[in-house]
C-alpha cells in the first residue's frame, strides 16, 4: 500500500506531519506501507535567490503565501503555534526557518532520491532538507546546502544530478498532477484515492491509513490517469498545465481521438487558435457528424475574426444539436 505525502518543504506543517505519520505507522502498521513524497507549492512566487524570511514577511503577498499551510492564522500566529507544536514533536533544539527560499531544487532532489534509491533514500533526503530549513536555518535553495544534504543522506550522486538539471520537468509535472487531484494543503496524505489534508494527530492518521487499506481500489493504466488529470486541469482553468500533462500522450498516442480532442480544447482555452483550428479540422474530417467538434471549430474561427467561415460550422452544429443555438 502506497502512502503519498503531497507537501512543500518550506511549510513547517510538513515536518510536523512527517513525525506524526511516523508515529502512526509504528507498531506494525507501517509494515504494509510504502511512503512516497510528492511536491506541492505554497509559495510559487518565491524568488530564485533566497531572502531573509523576516524581510520577506514585510511583503503582504509573501505573508499570504506562507500562511497557506495554516489557513485562518496570521503568519505571526502560525509561527508561534507551529513552534510550540514542533517542540512537542521533538523537533529542535531550535526551530524556525530563516529564509524565504525557492524549494524547486529541493523537490527535484527528493524526486531524484526516490528514482535512484527508492522510498528509504527519499525519506533520508526529505529529513535532511526539512532539518536544514527549519532546524539549521539554512537556505535550501542553495546548491551547496542541497549537496550537503544529499551526501548526508547517502545520495552521493544527488549534487551532480541537480547540477545537470535532472528531474526539472518531472517536478513541474508532479506539481500539476497534485493540482489536478485537488491537493490544496501542505501536507496532504493520499492513499488509494482517499485524501487527508493537514498535519493531523497521529491517531487520526493511523485510522485514516487503516480505513484506506480496507478500501477496494482499482488501479487504472498510467495513460488513463494522465488523461484524467489533464482534463481536471482544463476544468480548473489551467489549459497550459493540461497541455504539459498531455505532451507524452500526444507523442505516444497521438492518433487517439480522446487525446487529440482534449488537446484541441486546451489550445482553444489558451487562445492558441492556430493549433486549435488544425486539430479540430482533422477531427471534423474524421467525424463530420460530431456536432461538438464542429461547434468548437466554429467558435475557434469566430474568435479569430473569421465570421463567414465560422457560420457554416456553427450552423451545422446547431442543426445536429439544437442546444448549441442558445
Q: What's the CA gap between 230 and 239, in Å, rounded?
A: 8
117 pLDDT tier (thresholds 50, 70, 90)? very high
| pLDDT attached to residue 62 | 65
| pLDDT attached to residue 313 | 96
| pLDDT attached to residue 65 | 65
Q: Which three cell numbers stand for residue 198?
A: 493537514
Residues pairing with 51 in the sheet: 100
> Average pLDDT over the chain, rounded to whole?
92
pLDDT in tens, 122-161: 999 999 999 999 999 999 999 999 999 999 999 999 999 9
Cis peptide before 187 (omega within 30 of 0): yes
Handedness of CA 312, 315, 319, 323 (dihedral sign): positive
pTM recorded for the entire structure: 0.92
pLDDT in tens, 229-247: 999 999 999 999 999 999 9
| pLDDT attached to residue 27 | 75
| pLDDT attached to residue 21 | 96
Q: Could you tell me how many residues make up the chain? A: 326
pLDDT in tens, 211-221: 988 877 777 89
Which domains are seen in the chain, by residue range? 2-214 (3.40.30.10), 222-325 (1.25.40.10)
User: What percent of the chain has a predicted confidence (pLDDT) above 70?
Assistant: 94
Amino acid at each position: 500500500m502506497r502512502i503519498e505525502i503531497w507537501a512543500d518543504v518550506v511549510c513547517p506543517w510538513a515536518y510536523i506531519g512527517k513525525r506524526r505519520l511516523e508515529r502512526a505507522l509504528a507498531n506494525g502498521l507501517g509494515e504494509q506501507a510504502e511512503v512516497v513524497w510528492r511536491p506541492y507549492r505554497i509559495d510559487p512566487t518565491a524568488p530564485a535567490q533566497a531572502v531573509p524570511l523576516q524581510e520577506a514577511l514585510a511583503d503582504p503577498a509573501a505573508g499570504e503565501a506562507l500562511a497557506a499551510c495554516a489557513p485562518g492564522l496570521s503568519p505571526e500566529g502560525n509561527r508561534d503555534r507551529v513552534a510550540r507544536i514542533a517542540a512537542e514533536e521533538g523537533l529542535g533544539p531550535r526551530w524556525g526557518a530563516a529564509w524565504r527560499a525557492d524549494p524547486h531544487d529541493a523537490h527535484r532532489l527528493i524526486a531524484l532520491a526516490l528514482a535512484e534509491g527508492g522510498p528509504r533514500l527519499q525519506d533520508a533526503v526529505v529529513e535532511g532538507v526539512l532539518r536544514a530549513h527549519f532546524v539549521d536555518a539554512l537556505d535550501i535553495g542553495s546548491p551547496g546546502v542541497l549537496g550537503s544534504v544529499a551526501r548526508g543522506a547517502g545520495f552521493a550522486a544527488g549534487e551532480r544530478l541537480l547540477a545537470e538539471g535532472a528531474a526539472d520537468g518531472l517536478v513541474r509535472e508532479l506539481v500539476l498532477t497534485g493540482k489536478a487531484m485537488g491537493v490544496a494543503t501542505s501536507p496532504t496524505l493520499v492513499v488509494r484515492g482517499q485524501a487527508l489534508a493537514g498535519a493531523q494527530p497521529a491517531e487520526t492518521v493511523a485510522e485514516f491509513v487503516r480505513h484506506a487499506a480496507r478500501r477496494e481500489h482499482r488501479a487504472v493504466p498510467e495513460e488513463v490517469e494522465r488523461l484524467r488529470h489533464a482534463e481536471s486541469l482544463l476544468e480548473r482553468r489551467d489549459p497550459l498545465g493540461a497541455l504539459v500533462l498531455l505532451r507524452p500522450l500526444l507523442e505516444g498516442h497521438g492518433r487517439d481521438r480522446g487525446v487529440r480532442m482534449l488537446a484541441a480544447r486546451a489550445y482553444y482555452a489558451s487562445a492558441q487558435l492556430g493549433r486549435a483550428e488544425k486539430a479540430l479540422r482533422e477531427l471534423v474530417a474524421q467525424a463530420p457528424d460530431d456536432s461538438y467538434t464542429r461547434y468548437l471549430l466554429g467558435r475557434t474561427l469566430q474568435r479569430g475574426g473569421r465570421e463567414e467561415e465560422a457560420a457554416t460550422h456553427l450552423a451545422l452544429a446547431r442543426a445536429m444539436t439544437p442546444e448549441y443555438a442558445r
